[in-house]
């Protein structure tokens, strides 16, 4: 039995597990490195310990000091547990959309948690990183971890994760797959494996479909901890210094739906309860394995456990409410009312005035009662959109009514005069909806607004199903 003298000694040396059922029919061996077996439950424990120890060595963090960071959860949890053991105060700034389980874990470790707006331009003072930096600057004895740019982040994986994989595969690993958040895990591990193999190990970055790392538009996503979102009002797309892009040989873009459903498959087919980011990496690894032969060995990093996401990815009610469900157009569901579940909706730039929005919809020939959504401007006039990027819904008729009731309002932002709407998943049963006459329903398909219906459409179907 292994005996540790400190809880910190239980960080690292995580197992490799061969995926027998998910890998059935695939020619290469596929191994998952179970980073959720770190003492704090994620791969970020390694970076957290490395960054705090480096800060202590460099005189940046003294006894009684405060550890500060902006994080979507896992790095904060790692920092909080290390801080608790070493006697530091921990203050974490987390996105408002962070899974509730992670927030509870942070507080359980004694961290002070501040929830902030999670989708504003990088230069905005309310941005996660800026809020954390301002707090650290104003707090005596505080040290800001800066995981995205801290060299101790990838260094942790160069001295531990990479050597463990090389040792446990007896140097037979040929492909390494990991998601990219800060870039620390993939960069540090890849650096060691590239060196140990003489450059032969191929490094694959698994990236959420909308992430700019893999060429996406930077739009909002549902998978926490992976990818790189970009607010369209940002002046530049700043990538982390911890991410060494030269080490990546290939990117696999994975949709939110594929990530979530792969995580659910892992639980039900392998007995591995893994998180959404893990689902992203695993989906990429399985796709990659389809291309390879028996002479290859694939190792994929499983960053964290699904225990952090029981209220979301593993909750069937959440899955239905967000449109991540298999029976999208089943009889009696809202999805059955959409002529094309992937067609999309009219989109307008959120900054348009009432008069400008009305002119644009008229120019497009949009019918008076067809809704349009004011959303962050990504240069598209039609398509699907993440609801977090939407500020309001309008119609030509509703905008005209604003101008008629108050001519001065024509120059006000259209977003101030939106019409009410509800969000429902495409698999939601019509009989379960309780809407007022004429109320607009925005329908989510795979988590994105892809169509609309109104109460008058729902009533006949509801009656016919009763």
CB proximity list for 422: less than 8 A, separation 6 or greater: 435, 439, 440, 441, 442
Strands (E) located in 71-186: 89-95, 112-116, 142-144, 175-179
Specify which residues 403 forms β-bridges with.
Answer: none
Q: Is the CB of residue 417 less than 8 Å from the CB of residue 402?
A: yes
3-state SS, residue 435: coil
How are beta strands 89-95 and 112-116 bridged, if at all? parallel
How are beta strands 372-375 and 345-349 bridged, if at all? parallel
Active site residues: 44
Q: 457 vs 128, 336, 338, 446, 462, CA distance in Å? A: 42, 11, 10, 22, 9
Number of alpha carbons in the 13 Å side-chain half-sphere of residue 284: 30
3-state SS, residue 11: coil
Of the candidates 73, 300, 72, the one whose C-alpha atom is nearest the C-alpha of residue 169 is 300
Of the candidates 304, 241, 299, the one whose C-alpha atom is nearest the C-alpha of residue 45 is 304
Neighbour-count burial of 423, counting CB atoms closer than 10 A to its CB (0-12 exposed, 13-18 middle, 19+ buried): middle
Number of alpha carbons in the 13 Å side-chain half-sphere of residue 35: 28
Q: Please list the alpha-helical segments (H only) found in 197-297.
A: 256-265, 276-289
How are beta strands 372-375 and 202-208 bridged, if at all? unpaired
Of the candidates 150, 250, 245, the one whose C-alpha atom is nearest the C-alpha of residue 191 is 245
d(CA 94, CA 286) in angstroms, rounded, equals 31
d(CA 269, CA 247) in angstroms, rounded, equals 32
């Amino acid at each position: 039995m292994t005996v540790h003298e400190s809880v910190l000694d239980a960080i690292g040396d995580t197992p490799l597990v061969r995926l027998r059922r998910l890998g059935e029919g695939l020619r290469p061996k596929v191994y998952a490195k179970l980073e959720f077996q770190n003492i704090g439950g994620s791969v970020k424990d390694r970076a957290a310990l490395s960054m705090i120890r480096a800060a202590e060595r460099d005189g940046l963090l003294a006894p009684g000091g405060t550890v500060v960071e902006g994080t979507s959860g896992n790095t904060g949890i790692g920092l909080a547990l290390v801080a608790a053991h070493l006697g530091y105060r921990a203050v974490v700034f987390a996105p408002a959309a962070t899974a509730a389980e992670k927030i509870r874990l942070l507080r359980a470790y004694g961290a002070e948690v501040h929830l902030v707006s999670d989708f504003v331009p990088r230069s905005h003072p309310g941005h996660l990183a800026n809020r954390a930096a301002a707090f650290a600057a104003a707090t005596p004895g505080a040290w800001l971890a800066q995981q995205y740019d801290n060299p101790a982040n990838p260094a942790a994986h160069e001295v531990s994760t990479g050597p463990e994989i090389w040792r446990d595969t007896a140097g037979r690993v040929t492909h390494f797959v990991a998601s990219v958040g800060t870039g620390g895990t993939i960069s540090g591990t890849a650096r060691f494996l590239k060196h140990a193999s003489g450059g032969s190990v191929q490094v694959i970055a698994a990236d959420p479909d909308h992430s700019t790392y893999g060429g996406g538009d930077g739009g909002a996503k549902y998978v926490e901890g992976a990818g790189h979102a970009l607010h369209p009002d940002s002046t530049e797309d700043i990538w982390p210094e911890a991410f060494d892009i030269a080490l990546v040989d290939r990117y696999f873009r994975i949709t939110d739906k594929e990530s979530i459903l792969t995580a659910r498959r892992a639980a039900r087919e392998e007995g591995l309860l893994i998180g959404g980011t893990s689902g992203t990496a695993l989906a990429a690894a399985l796709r990659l394995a389809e291309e390879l032969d028996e002479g290859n060995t694939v190792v994929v990093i499983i960053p964290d456990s699904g225990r952090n996401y029981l209220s979301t990815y593993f909750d069937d009610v959440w899955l239905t409410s967000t449109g991540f469900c298999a029976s999208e157009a089943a009889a009696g569901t809202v999805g059955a009312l959409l002529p094309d579940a992937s067609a999309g909706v009219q989109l307008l730039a959120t900054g348009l005035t009432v008069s400008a929005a009305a002119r644009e919809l008229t120019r497009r020939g949009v019918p008076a009662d067809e809704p349009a959504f004011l959303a962050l401007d990504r240069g598209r006039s039609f398509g699907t959109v993440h609801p977090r990027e939407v500020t309001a819904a309008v119609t030509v008729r509703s905008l005209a009514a604003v101008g008629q009731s108050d001519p001065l309002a024509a120059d006000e932002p259209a977003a101030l005069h939106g019409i009410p709407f509800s969000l429902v998943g495409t698999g939601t049963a019509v009989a379960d909806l309780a809407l007022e006459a004429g109320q607009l329903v925005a329908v989510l398909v795979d988590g994105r607004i892809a169509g609309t219906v109104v109460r008058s459409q729902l009533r006949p179907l509801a009656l016919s199903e009763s």
